[in-house]
Structure 1
Amino acid sequence: MTGIHKLRPSSAKYKEIWDANQVFKHLSTIKVIPKYTYTALLNKTLVLCKMFGLARSSDLVKWSFKGLIITIDSIKGPVINAKEQRSGVVSILELTSLDDTNSQVCPVRHLATYLRASKGRRKPHSGDSVFIKNEGEPLQVNDINSIVLSTLSKSGIDIVKFKSHSTRSAMASLLLSNNVPFHVVKKMGRWKSNDTVDTFYDKRIIGEKSGGFLNTVQIS
């Protein structure tokens, strides 16, 4: 049966994708204030990191807290997902800051705030996880998927049709439509093949037709 998959090549799950601006508009209404609840901060930060990092849920589970490198303009760290563990390859998930006009959805700003808020909640059983629950338990894939789907639903996305993994396609499509170079998007998503991006992730955006909340994405 070896090689049988080549006779039936994978096909794209989605022919079109939701507009990521819908999610950013919703998230922008959730303000970071002194009385911000930990759970709300965790949920918003996690979704921003998943989208701007073009990350799988498993990437965020495996993102190394101890390996984070934090600067004013970026936060990055190693992640080993299930596929890469077999080959011993270590990927780097990196987030870059947005300009002040998009500060309410800046992943670096929110992650830095979240890391400060989670400091006192980290326990020995938190392990090396970046994202932890209020009691210090590390988030698992199902937890992340649940948070993402809840956010998509509140943003008006059809979660019967689109699942948590669709954030990768939505964000890649938004970046490419904003003229971010193909090779940059490919590197951000840690994809090895141009065909993978073309076939599975670069889709026609549906939903909002005029303008958008995040019209200009500054990615270098």
Structure 2
Amino acid sequence: MIMSLSDSTAKQYDTYLKPWYQFCISFSINYLEGSVPQVLSFLTKLVEQGASYGSINCAKSALSLLLGSKISTDDRLKRFMKGVFRLNPPQPKYDVTWDPQIVLNFLSCWYPNENLILENLTKKLVTLLAIATGHRVQTLSLIKTQNIQQSNQKILIKIPDLIKTSRPGSNQPLLTLPFFLEKPQICPAKTLVTYINMTKTKRNNCENLFISFKKPYNKVTSQTISRWIKDTLSDSGIDTSIFTAHSTRHASTSAAKRCGVNIDVIRKTAGWSESSKTFAKFYNRDFIESCDFASSIFL
């Protein structure tokens, strides 16, 4: 049962399972057999401490792992969650997003790629990949050199490792990077080829694509890649006090939708299922410079 959870989900659940255990100890409750009223009392305590609807929902999911399906199906729990929702409705992280063209224009100045220092080339590549694929930083951190296939027209990158959206019966990501010959300054595929060539002698048999740009050139974590992307966004003029590295997923998918890309193509590219409503609910956002964007079309 524990192995059914990703590492990030297990850490999230642990945040609420420890307080639940302490709650049960203080009231002489068997933490594996808590009743619905006892669960309601615990969740109410979290609400009084300022927990959001999302946090309460996560706590409920964590407890259902221990106590079974009665936590998810009980009418009292459903009514309670509706009350929490009305008291403190969850808000989307972003009401608007930024125009990817701003970042692409900035990165086009970092050219030719062969003349860049490794730090700038690395940051350019991770940002271009994030925008071009619409995938999470976790996916980028799992790219391995042996899973990269190059042809004359495009580069294909297989991701066999499990990611957040991996489920039984679902396909693993296949990232496609066409060669944009008309815009070599911001071509992700061309930048990737240069990066592989520049790091070939520094890898020390490291299979992961992204390595640190300082000795001893070890593989990097997803947190490091996030920091690189955030640095690039900041240098491009994006307000990183509002937008994180993950906002590249919002920006690229929203821009694709505005350019008329079919919603099924967006879902498939970014790793959502065919029936997923995640894009429409959380990711499809207007640009901050909406007036400037409109002007660029009509003028």
TM range (shorter): 0.7 to 0.9
Give the Cα–Cα distance (whole angstroms) in 1 for the partners of residues 257 and 109 of structure 2: 25
Which residue of 116, 122, 144 corresponds with 1:36?
116
Q: How does 1:43-62 map to 2 (within 5 A)?
A: 43-62=123-142
State the structure with bigger RCO (CA 8 A, min sep 6), 1 or 2: 1
- When residues 183 and 82 of structure 1 are mapped into structure 2, their CA distance, relative to the original with a 3 A threshold, is closer
Contact 1:73 1:108 in 2 (8 A): no
1:133 aligned residue: 212
Contact 1:32 1:41 in 2 (8 A): no
Unaligned runs of 5+ in 2: 1-59, 65-71
Q: How does 1:93-108 map to 2 (within 5 A)?
A: 93-100=175-182, 102-108=183-189
Give the Cα–Cα distance (whole angstroms) in 1 for the partners of residues 136 and 209 of structure 2: 14
Give the Cα–Cα distance (whole angstroms) in 2 for the partners of residues 93 and 35 of structure 1: 27
1:131-150 CA-partner distances (Å, limit 9, x unpaired)? 11233311211111111111
- When residues 82 and 180 of structure 1 are mapped into structure 2, their CA distance, relative to the original with a 3 A threshold, is closer
1:186 and 2:271 are equivalent in the alignment: no
- When residues 114 and 21 of structure 1 are mapped into structure 2, their CA distance, relative to the original with a 3 A threshold, is same
1:215 aligned residue: none
CA apart distance, 1:84: 4.5
Q: Secondary structure at the match of 1:169?
A: helix
Q: Greater CA radius of gyration, 1 or 2?
A: 2
* Count of residue correspondences: 209
Which residue of 270, 277, 293 corresponds with 1:195?
277
CA apart distance, 1:121: 1.1
1:108-133 CA-partner distances (Å, limit 9, x unpaired)? 11111111111111113x2x211112
CA apart distance, 1:93: 2.0
Contact 1:62 1:81 in 2 (8 A): no
Q: Secondary structure at the match of 2:115?
A: coil
1:163-212 CA-partner distances (Å, limit 9, x unpaired)? 11000010011111111222111111011144111111111112353439
Q: How does 1:69-148 map to 2 (within 5 A)?
A: 69-79=149-159, 80-84=161-165, 87=168, 90-100=172-182, 102-124=183-205, 126=206, 128-134=207-213, 135-148=216-229
Contact 1:68 1:76 in 2 (8 A): yes
Contact 2:110 2:116 in 1 (8 A): no
Contact 1:103 1:109 in 2 (8 A): yes
Q: Secondary structure at the match of 1:191?
A: coil
Give the Cα–Cα distance (whole angstroms) in 2 for the partners of residues 29 and 110 of structure 1: 13
Give the Cα–Cα distance (whole angstroms) in 1 for the partners of residues 296 and 287 of structure 2: 12
- When residues 130 and 113 of structure 1 are mapped into structure 2, their CA distance, relative to the original with a 3 A threshold, is same
Give 1 or 2: higher helix fraction. 2
1:173 and 2:254 are equivalent in the alignment: yes
Q: One-letter code of the match for 1:83?
A: K
Unaligned runs of 5+ in 1: 213-220
Q: Secondary structure at the match of 2:128?
A: helix
Contact 2:256 2:266 in 1 (8 A): yes
Give the Cα–Cα distance (whole angstroms) in 1 for the partners of residues 235 and 162 of structure 2: 28
1:66 and 2:151 are equivalent in the alignment: no
Q: Secondary structure at the match of 1:49?
A: helix
Which residue of 145, 153, 156 corresponds with 2:234?
153
Q: So what's the TM-score if we normalise by structure 1?
A: 0.85
1:18 and 2:118 are equivalent in the alignment: no
Give the Cα–Cα distance (whole angstroms) in 2 for the partners of residues 59 and 88 of structure 1: 19
Q: Secondary structure at the match of 1:25?
A: helix
